[in-house]
Structure 1
Amino acid sequence: MPELQGADPDHVAYLGTTSKTLGPALRLGWMVLPPRLMGQVADARTHIDHRTEHLGQLTLANLITRHGYDRHIRRSRQRYRRRRDQLRHHLAGLRITLTGIAAGLHALAILPPDGPTETDIEAVAQAHGVALGCLSERTQLSPTRQGVMIGYGRPSDHADTSALDALTTTFAECFGQQGTA
């Protein structure tokens, strides 16, 4: 929330990472700190992080300075929003609720209580070569509803259509078995 940090820079730290935008293997992140914390954090980093890779940092700084990182983020958000819109279109008519932000990398499909279960959908998805995550596996609490996580950030653009077709077939079969399609 850069707006929050900018509103009170003496009390709010802004931290970020490139793990989702450029890749987790780069291990790059940043901090915008209140001035009173700069010395303490710099001192802590010298004692904790002895293997900071400099080329990646310099490359990221260059991308930021030349606005290449901003352009990359805007293109990525548009691509993921388009993929989400396609997902929503393909799953329209089924009794599921799709949640999550439009520019995110995944959506949660909430299943109706009287429809197929997470386990049903996961089994059919696996048969079609689609990996989904069950909502019940991502909480330590007893889930009050069932749902599946659908990631759409990973397939390349040319593979996205076949992955979406396989996902659509999965849901159609599951809901068809329940007589709700």
Structure 2
Amino acid sequence: MEKETALHVALRYGYQRVAHLLIEVNPELTCLTNMVNESPLFLATSKDYMQTANMILEYCPESSFQGVNGVTALHAVVTHKSELAIKTLESMILENGDAIKEADAIGWTPLHYAALKGNLEATELLLLGKHDGSASYMLDKSGMSALHVAALAGHEEVMEKLIRRHPDICDLVNHKGQTALHIAVLAGQETVVE
């Protein structure tokens, strides 16, 4: 791929030791994106290389979060549930909390991704802090909130966390006029409906 640095290549092909050496020698590499806008931090988080992601953040806290189609490293990290992934998420939010509200090409925020994966710890972190969970109200291009997505996937605990934080999100409707309850019924998520 064009504009790929050696760090991009090392991460793309799973050479984490090489990536660590490159970061130590030239931390500026962590700020460069390739031709399709992938940053090294995005590649590390999307491939679940959390040790490398934390190293990138340690050596260069202002590292780019950019990825493809508007998906950022923050979107990617919430799809992983390990303790190290949660630690990485905490560091990323501290460094760039505004990224919580960044939507990808279909309008999904990191909270939508956490809801889809049923990542309760990530959901909790995304609802805390100076952004006070306002991402809960963000709708994707079809009008789906993170609550709709959690209902569709049947993730009750995530739904409960979202509703406890913002009870009025139960009233959000998508472009078809459907609430999260409608979505749960249509998806056959009986435990959510109960």
TM-score range, shorter chain: under 0.3
TM-score, structure 2 normalization: 0.21
Q: Which has the higher helix share?
A: 2
Where relative contact order (Cα < 8 A, 6+ residues apart) is larger, the structure is 1
